Amino acid sequence: VIRCRAAVAWAVGKPLSVEEVEVSPPKAGEVRVKIVATGICRTDDHVLEGCFPNVVFPVIPGHEGAGIVESVGEGVTSVKPGDKVIPLCLPQCGGCSFCLNPESNYCVKSHVSEPQNLLPDKTSRFTCKGKQIHHFLWVSTFAEYTVMPEYAVAKIDAAAPLDKVCLLGCGFPTGYGAAINTAKVKPGSTCAIFGVGGVGLSVVMGCKAAGASRIIAVDINKDKFAKAKELGATDCISPQDFKKPIQEVLTEMTGHGVDYSFEAIGHVDTLTAALASCNMNTGVCVMVGVPASGSVISIDPMLLLSGRTWKGTLLGGWKMRDCIPTLVSSYLEKKFNSDVLISHTLPIAKVNEGFELLRAGK
């Protein structure tokens, strides 16, 4: 058993508490990882607010990490102690019908099918103050050591800087892949991205890499525009600067609406606006942000009847175990620069400060 620090969420609406926890050794088919760095993602904030579905408290959140394998359980063959790895919040078991489908990046072992609050044998590897602590998406990267199934971890290049590639565990591939894999943005096309936080900026990078000729960033926080432009946005607009709905503004700017729109916030009203802002016949709208659990969207059926396509994306459509090592190699070859998404670097003791910066849009 390893004793280490972890940021524990004891209850909904309470700040995280950095505690000493005990982390049990990995059982058969499991891997124990020393987490070196983790990003803070809006999804973790949804957990703390109680609007992420089927999470059980107390829990150790965090799902965007990178680390080094400390030990492996019986039968583990794809990684060994000392390997650099990225934990996968969307597993790839390799055996289910989704994993076997080349067009799918889903896996029936994921939280959307059944909760990942306990490891597959329905027990936890974490205890604190004598209490069982739950896992989050099996990865719980807000702990200095964490345990997950082998199919929820990907070995990456030994040269990768873990404090930078941790973003490749969720935020960057989600946005970048939404453009490249899910929307399949074509060269010369027009795109609109609603919300240019870390994920939205990654969508901007994906649209630019795909050769889009016009990339419109939409956000009420104008502080985000400089970075959006640096990464390829051609126009930046705030809905607060217009009297009319933003979908009408975008339609006027582009003639008939954009070819591709992306919603990277997770609000019902911006989802509807994003759908309405792409052109009525061949437009594609991709839902990237995660709306609060239990949200319902009501839309005018004509928005879809005229031919638009409305799609969701999970982790940008990448088959995680197959693709994350390749994305890390692309990062090392400087094919994209995800480092620009890093605004602050804090010690785990200041994790709540990190969430304050996230909520302040910084």
State the CATH number of the domain containing residue 257. 3.40.50.720
124 and 37 share a domain?
yes
Counting Cβ atoms within 10 Å, is residue 125 exposed (0-12), middle (13-18) or buried (19+)?
buried
Range of the domain at 51: 2-169+319-360
Structural domains in the chain (count): 2
Collapsing DSSP states into helix, strand and coil, what is residue 320? helix
For 154, the token pair is 């990907």
Q: How far is CA 297 from the centre of its chain?
A: 22
The pLDDT, as a whole number, for residue 30 is 98
Residues 197-244: pLDDT tens digits? 999 999 999 999 999 999 999 999 999 999 999 999 999 999 999 999
343 and 202 share a domain?
no
302 and 196 share a domain?
yes
Average pLDDT value for residue range 177-192: 98
81 and 178 share a domain?
no
32 and 163 share a domain?
yes
Number of neighbouring beta carbons within 10 Å of residue 73 = 16
pTM of the predicted protein model:
0.95
26 and 99 share a domain?
yes
150 and 219 share a domain?
no
242 and 270 share a domain?
yes
Number of neighbouring beta carbons within 10 Å of residue 352 = 15
30 and 67 share a domain?
yes
The pLDDT, as a whole number, for residue 139 is 97
State the CATH number of the domain containing residue 60. 3.90.180.10
183 and 257 share a domain?
yes
Residues 145-184: pLDDT tens digits? 999 999 999 999 999 999 999 999 999 999 999 999 999 9
Residues 242-294: pLDDT tens digits? 999 999 999 999 999 999 999 999 999 999 999 999 999 999 999 999 888 78
137 and 276 share a domain?
no
Q: How far, in Å, are 5, 50, 53, 138 from residue 9 at the CA level? A: 13, 11, 15, 15
